[in-house]
Amino acid sequence: MATFGDTLFLLAAFAVLLVLVGTFAWKPVTKIMAERQDKIDSDLDYADQTRQDAQKMAAQREAELKSSKEDAVKIVSQAKENGEAQRQQLVANAQAEVTKLKANADKDIAQQRQDALNAAQKDVASLSLAIAEKLIAKELDPAAQQTLIDQYISELGDANGSH
Q: Under a CB-based contact definition with an 8 Å cutoff, are residues 31 and 24 in contact?
A: no
Residue 1 lies in a domain: no
Q: For helices 142-160 and 27-136, what crossing angle results, to 10°?
A: 130
Q: Under a CB-based contact definition with an 8 Å cutoff, are residues 133 and 139 in contact?
A: yes
pLDDT of residue 137: 47
Q: Using 50, 70 and 90 to split pLDDT, how confident is the model at 161?
A: low
Mean pLDDT (whole number) for 140-145: 71
Residue 13 lies in a domain: no
0.75 exceeded by pTM: no
Residue 150 lies in a domain: yes
Residue 31 lies in a domain: yes
Residue 128 lies in a domain: yes
Q: Using 50, 70 and 90 to split pLDDT, how confident is the model at 1?
A: low
- Tally of domains in the chain: 1
**pLDDT digit string, tens, across residues 4-56:** 888 999 999 999 998 888 888 888 888 899 999 999 999 999 999 999 999 99
pLDDT of residue 29: 86
Q: What is the CA radius of gyration of the chain?
A: 61
Please give the single-letter amino acid code of residue 88: Q
The domain containing residue 63 runs over which residues?
Answer: 27-160
Residue 5 lies in a domain: no
Residue 11 lies in a domain: no
